[in-house]
Chain A
């Protein structure tokens, strides 16, 4: 048994000193194992996020060296009317996505959670949109919705004949619907998983008590899915701050400012108008909104998690 070290390890590292006895007993590895991830994530995610705050106080075109400017960019952000337009659009996309994706995903998730030939087949197909890149989805819909050669020229689809993406009154709704088409599968999967964890005994008890299907859906399924609802909503909320590529390819933020969400505003300000300082202000605001919203939702989800577990008993 004394030859263990050499036989177990193909790698012959020296044995550790007794100073780390406690850690060794638990079998935990050295903290050095954190280093590669820390360097990569720290260097290319956390540091840049902090860098955005610094850059927001500079003037920089993207070439050369950033020049210190002070609070001018922040003043611009607060006074520019476009800021409030884009904030409004961002939240419209957020709430629109919650309202459209939430109920559809929950109903589909509940439906495909149970086995059956057609359901399994449908589940297979439902998933496909999620596999496509946002660029692909955007290009497909951009052309599909074209009033001149798109789907509306098919017999029976004449009601689709409208310049959906060119009309500033309809473009935002269309964007929200296309985003839903793309991301409903993800949330359907979450709900499917959630439904499958609901104990069947709850339904048995309810049907003995004479509760109908619809009654069971609202008194058992929905309350039991509370945690899934919060998870899915958090993903939609944080996701709304990142739906950049799909909108960029489909409408480029237009017509006018009609679909200029905050991340797109950041990109266009920074890389099209060469105002990296101003764009960094938008980046900082994006991070702040994301942090506030997800902290609020996490707090709420912790609460509801406990509650739903109690209700499950």
Chain B
């Protein structure tokens, strides 16, 4: 019986809590008011930007299917005259799968660590009014304002001293650390919208901090966790400075760095480089196709409020 009393409040109040992220839904209907008049200059401007966005993407994609000889004879924007997958085969043969795996490991590990420690911190900052927790939040906000890349030299020093230079862990740790400020801010904004009575009633029922975390905070903040997870994943996946400075061997190379070394190895083999570029985009584009809403929400969540 007591189990139901402690779970019920969650279920009952779930809709108002999940309301914030969908807040824009009713607003979105409103604009139909304006579209009574078609915005011709707007449409033209939008179409122009669309062309500017699409042409380079189209060029990258078509170039990646050209052979090294037709690359110079075909017009840049024509379809490949003799489409070939040779470039992709070449990229695969030069260790792409290993770089891909490294990127996946680093991204997943860094995101899980960052989101987990940030959730603990955000829960405290949102619900504990102690001066320590308020100071922590100020520090986090400051972390957003500082170009953290400036810390790269001491990070290089520390990780070398710890014997972690040129390991995947050397990428995971600082990537997770740098993701903390934005993650905490997004989660705090979200957790503050959870009604305090939920916490109070669970506490009265004798729930411990960990119980509240697992049974209340975690399930209720799931949309925010997904959002912030995707946001961080994008950042870590595309990160370049840490791999450049903190790794060296091909065995721990991640994708963005692999692209850069393809460029220095292949220099004139533009179709090969473009095939590598396309392959590095595929996972994120897939994520975009399936999780577009969360991704878009994630990119604006931290700054929209």
Contact = CB atoms under 8 A, between A and B. Distances in A.
Interface of A: 1, 3-5, 7-11, 13, 15-16, 23-31, 33-34, 36-38, 40-41, 43-49, 51-52, 55, 60, 62, 66, 104, 107-108, 110-116, 118-119, 122, 124-136, 139-144, 149-151, 153-155, 157, 181, 184, 186, 189-190, 193-194, 196-197, 200, 203-204, 213, 231-232, 235, 238, 241-242, 244-245, 248-249, 263, 266-267, 270-271, 276, 279-280, 283-284, 286-287, 290-291, 294-295, 298
B13 interface: no
B50 A126 contact: yes
Contact of B149 (A10, A189, A231, A263): A263
B256 to A, nearest CB: 4
A238 B145 contact: yes
Nearest to A131: B284
A9 B2 contact: no
A3 B124 contact: no
B271 to A, nearest CB: 10
B205 A31 contact: no
Contacts of B109: none
B237 interface: yes
B31 A139 contact: no
Interface string B267-304: 00010011001001100110010001000100110011
Contact of B299 (A30, A104, A189): A189
B292 to A, nearest CB: 8
B173 A44 contact: yes
A112 B37 CA distance: 14
A135 B213 contact: no
Interface of B: 1-3, 6, 24, 27-28, 30-35, 37, 39, 42-43, 45-47, 49-50, 52-57, 59-60, 63, 71-72, 75-77, 113, 116-118, 120-121, 123-125, 127-130, 132-133, 136, 139-140, 142-158, 173-174, 176-178, 180-181, 184, 196, 198-200, 202-203, 205-215, 234, 237-241, 244-245, 255-257, 259-260, 263, 270, 273-274, 277, 280-281, 284-285, 288, 292, 296, 299-300, 303-304
Contacts of B244: 245, 248, 267
Contact of B199 (A26, A133, A263, A279): A26
Given A107-B45, A128-B288, A143 B150 contact: no
A115 B28 contact: yes
**Is chain B's interface secondary structure helix, strand, loop, or mixed overall?**
helix
B49 A127 contact: no
Contacts of B184: 37
In the A-B complex, the 7 residue pairs with the closest CB atoms: A27-B199, A51-B154, A294-B145, A133-B238, A28-B128, A48-B151, A48-B154
Nearest to A263: B149
Contacts of B124: 28-31, 33-34
